[in-house]
Amino acid sequence: MALAKITSVTGRAVNVPGNDIDTDRIIPARFMKCVTFDGLGEFLFNDVRKDPKTGEITNHSLNDARFKGATILLSGANFGCGSSREHAPQAIQKYGFKAVIAENFAEIFFGNSTTLGMPCVTATREDIAKIAAAVEANPATEVVIDLVPLEVRFAGQTIKIAQRESARDALVHGRWDAIGELLDGLPAVQTTAKKLPYLAA
């Protein structure tokens, strides 16, 4: 199963502002009692999208009908900090997001997202604010994250982004899932194993 080469992501965006948005805010621990990751998207940002006392829907940007169907998430600094739970990027992806643009990311969250084929790219606070302003003015604004020249294009504007080269290379060349790569190379592994005397039956 060859992995997709992810050179760009195009879609509408939504801004979830704030710094130090941790993995427990992204997906509260009580929703992690699952056998698979399926269905986690339903509980993305659950405790800030609903009033904890009344259960009523809040004015969180993901509750705004104008941004329904957005596939690019905008946020602030140190996104995905806190515990190393893989459920956080899984919940973001299962909700329907294909990429995240933030000022910077927590290390483990960044790695877990990359292995899902979900690019996490960084931009300056000022440039993220420009994208956020454009989509607030027109939620239908098309945002293009181009990993080849490392830029984002939207509403006639272009900003520069950054991404760790190892992650960019893996995404662009379809090598972002180590297990997928191993399965693809299984015939070669089996051929090599036959040549090893200590593995001979």
**CATH number of the domain encompassing residue 64:** 3.20.19.10
Residue 124: how many CB atoms within 10 A of its CB? 13
> 196 in a domain, yes or no?
no
Q: Give residue-wise pLDDT tens across range 121-173.
A: 999 999 999 999 999 999 999 999 999 999 999 999 999 999 999 999 999 99
Question: In terms of pLDDT, which residue wins out, 168 or 178?
Answer: 168
In the predicted model, what is the mean pLDDT of residues 164-184?
88
* Enclosing domain of residue 102: 8-175
Residue 25 has pLDDT above 90, yes or no: yes
Q: Taking residues 46-64, report their average pLDDT.
A: 92
Assess if residue 185 is contained within a domain.
no
Report the amino acid identity of residue 144.
V
Q: Is residue 186 in a domain?
A: no
Does residue 201 fall inside a structural domain?
A: no
In a domain, 190, yes or no: no
Amino acid at 84: S
pLDDT of residue 201: 58
103 occurs within a structural domain: yes
Which residues have a Cβ under 8 Å from the Cβ of 185 and sit 6 or more positions away? none
**pLDDT of res. 52:** 81
Q: What is the pLDDT of residue 184?
A: 74
Section 43-58 average pLDDT: 91
**Residue 1 forms part of a structural domain:** no
pLDDT of residue 34: 74
95 inside domain: yes
Which are the contacts of 128, defined by CB distance < 8 A and separation ≥ 6? 15, 74, 75, 76, 101, 102, 103
The number of folded domains in the chain is 1
Whole-prediction pTM: 0.89
Instruction: Report d(CA 154, CA 166) in Å as an integer.
Output: 26
Q: How confident is the model at residue 200 (pLDDT cuts 50, 70, 90)?
A: low
> Which phi-psi region, left, alpha or beta, contains residue 18 (left: φ > 0; alpha: ψ -120 to 50)?
left
> How does pLDDT run across 29-43, given as a tens digit for each residue?
888 877 778 888 899
Q: Cβ atoms within 10 A of the Cβ of 183, count? A: 12
